[in-house]
Each structure stands twice: as C-alpha cells, then as structure tokens.
C-alpha cells in the first residue's frame, strides 16, 4: 500500500517500526514499512473500514513465519538469485475442504516453489522461481480448473510477471495485488487472470469507458453481433483468417467477405495489428455493458 496516499488520508498517522505498534493503533503495511494510525483519532466508521485492511497481529498470524510473507508484506530483506513470479489464489469452498491434500497436489505440480502460504482463510500465495519447468500461464489455469473439479472448489487465479529487481519486489507485488483485487471484483465470474490482460484492463478500461469518442465508435462499428464474433475470433487467432473461420464454423470466404465490408465501412485494416487491437479493446471494454 502507498504510504503517501495513506498519509494524505490520515495526516495524524506516521511510519514506525513494528515495536511501536500497540492495541491503540491500526498498523497498515506499506511500501515504506508500517503506517500507524491512532484509533483515538478515528471515527467508528473509519475504524471499521481500516479493520478490513489491517492484518492480523503477528502473534496470531501463522503466515508471518514464512520468509516470503515478511519479504512481500513487511519489506523484509531479500536476495534474488533467480527471478520469481507470484501466483495469487482466491478460493471458495463448498462443504468440507481437504486443505492438506489440496496443498500437497499443488506442491507436486509446481516443481519450483520457493514458498506457499495463506494470507487469509480464502487467499493463498505461491512464490515460483523461474526455470525451464515453469508451466505456461494457460496451463496453470487448466491445472487449477482440474483441482476445482477434484476438490469441489471455486478458485480465481492471478499469475503475476517474473521479477528480479530486489528493491522493487514488494512494491511490484503490492501493485499486482491491487490489480487482482480490482479485476476479480469487476469480473466475478472470471477464474483466470493473466498479468498482461489484467494490467491492460486495470489501467485502460476506465479511461476508455469514460471517453465519449470511444463510446461513439463502439456504437457505430459494432452494432452487428456476428461481426463482433468474427473480430473476437480474429484477435484470438492472431489475425489468422483461416483459424478464425474454423473456430466459428464458417467458410473462410464468408469471413473474408464480412471483413472486407467492415474495413470498407470503417477504413480500418485488420491485417494491421494496431487496428485489430483497437477493435479488440473497444469490444472488450464495452461488450459487457
């Protein structure tokens, strides 16, 4: 969490060492250490809100026994010999949760785990070191889909980027955590969150939605659901018309004819990836409205 933003919201708060934290303060982990806010300076509503963000006390929080918890949440020291990526998992259980067996399956599947721990009853962190045995992102999503079926769970999984800069590791993780939190709240039915797609959505979508030009272009260009389906398939197949046609169960000439009509109307060139990405962005942002 950004200490400067917290300070602007709570000017009576201050950065301090863990030894200064007592029951009279809310202690919020930030990019520069613990930020203490005196409870006496807060209204009851403010205290209730901060209680959602303040972690458990260290003595009550078993995650603090993990070295990577201290690195990511308390800015503890770290020396990276290989890049790491952080996989965040939000899970919902249905009935009895065989947690030990589930964690054992995860440890068997991921061969390069440096650490794993729960930061809440429903949120787990995996720290994975970079190696030739790392799964591609889509395979990771497939593995958790299979585990959901086996253990009767519903998990949402965010796969972060690989990081190797020691000084910015905790801050980078905290930004990824904000992205995942925002995206899963906006897309409650989505289970798989890649870093690249989530970051694009997190940083761009609101600006696009608020822009009247983007709204107008979406209405003008994408009123035909069949053309939207073609453009979506074309994007997913990296502009390959034959693959898009096969995915849609359409003849290739039919797809080419529809593309030509669209290009004639919009003066776009869908062979140009910038133009195709622009179409994808508008469809992605506005199609769920």
CATH code of 149's domain: 3.30.70.260
Same domain, 266 and 225: yes
Residue 161 belongs to what domain range?
Answer: 78-204
| Residue 20's pLDDT band (cuts 50, 70, 90) | low
How crowded is the C-beta side of 75, counted as CA atoms within 13 Å?
17
Q: Residue 221 domain-assigned?
A: yes
Show which of 170, 204, 238 is a domain's final residue.
204
pLDDT at 288 over 70: no
Q: What is the pLDDT of residues 117-171, one digit of tens each?
A: 998 888 999 999 999 999 999 999 999 999 999 999 999 999 999 999 888 899 9
Are residues 101 and 191 both part of a single domain?
A: yes
Find the CATH number of the domain harbouring 274: 1.10.10.2840
At residue 111, the pLDDT reads 93
**245 shares a domain with 177:** no
The helix-helix angle for 273-286 and 195-209 (nearest 10°) equals 70
Backbone angles phi, psi at 115, to 5 degrees: -170, 155
Which three-class secondary structure string do you get for 176-210? HHHHHHHHHHHCCCCCEEEHHHHHHHHHHHHHHHC
The DSSP bridge partners found for residue 192 are 157
Average predicted confidence (pLDDT) for the chain: 88
Q: Which of 204, 221, 253 is the last residue of a domain?
A: 204
CA 190 to CA 193: how far, in whole Å? 8
Is residue 156 in a domain? Answer: yes
pLDDT of residue 4: 74
- Predicted pLDDT at 58: 45
Number of domains in the chain: 3
Q: 95 — phi, psi (to 5°)? A: 85, -140
Distance CA(26)–CA(288), nearest Å, equals 39
User: What does the pLDDT look like over 47-67, one tens digit per residue?
Assistant: 777 777 665 554 456 777 888
* Co-location of 194 and 219 in the same domain: no
Please tell me whether residues 110 and 191 are part of one structural domain: yes
Residue 14 confidence (pLDDT): 82
CA–CA dist 20, 13 (Å, integer): 13
Gap between the Cα atoms of 148 and 155, Å rounded? 7
Residues 200 and 84 in one domain: yes
87 and 195 share one domain? yes
What are the backbone angles phi and psi of residue 132, rounded to the nearest 5°?
-65, -20
């Amino acid at each position: 969490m950004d200490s400067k933003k917290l300070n602007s919201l709570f000017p009576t708060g201050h950065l301090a060492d863990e030894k200064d934290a007592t029951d009279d303060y809310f202690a919020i982990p930030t990019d520069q250490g613990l930020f203490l806010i005196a409870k006496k300076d807060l209204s009851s509503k403010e205290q209730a809100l901060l209680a959602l963000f303040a972690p458990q006390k260290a003595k009550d929080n078993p995650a603090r026994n993990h070295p990577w918890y201290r690195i990511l949440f308390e800015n503890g020291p770290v020396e990276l010999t290989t890049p790491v990526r952080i996989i965040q998992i939000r899970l919902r259980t249905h009935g009895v949760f065989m947690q030990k067996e589930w964690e054992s399956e995860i440890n068997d599947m991921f061969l390069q785990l440096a650490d794993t721990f729960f930061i809440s009853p429903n949120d787990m962190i995996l720290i994975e070191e970079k190696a030739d045995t790392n799964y591609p992102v889509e395979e990771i999503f497939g593995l958790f889909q299979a585990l959901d079926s086996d253990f009767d769970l519903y998990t949402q999984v965010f796969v972060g980027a690989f990081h190797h800069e020691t000084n910015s590791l905790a801050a980078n993780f905290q930004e990824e955590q904000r992205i995942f939190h925002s995206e899963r709240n906006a897309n409650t039915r989505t289970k798989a969150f890649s870093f690249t797609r989530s970051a694009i959505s997190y940083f761009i979508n609101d600006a696009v939605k608020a822009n009247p030009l983007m709204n107008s272009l979406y209405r003008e260009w994408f009123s035909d659901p069949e053309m939207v389906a073609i453009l979506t398939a074309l994007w997913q197949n990296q502009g390959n018309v034959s693959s898009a046609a096969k995915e849609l169960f359409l003849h290739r000439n039919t797809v080419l004819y529809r593309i030509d009509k669209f290009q004639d109307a919009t003066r776009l060139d869908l062979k140009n990836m910038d133009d195709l990405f622009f179409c994808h962005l508008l469809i992605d942002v506005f199609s769920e409205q």
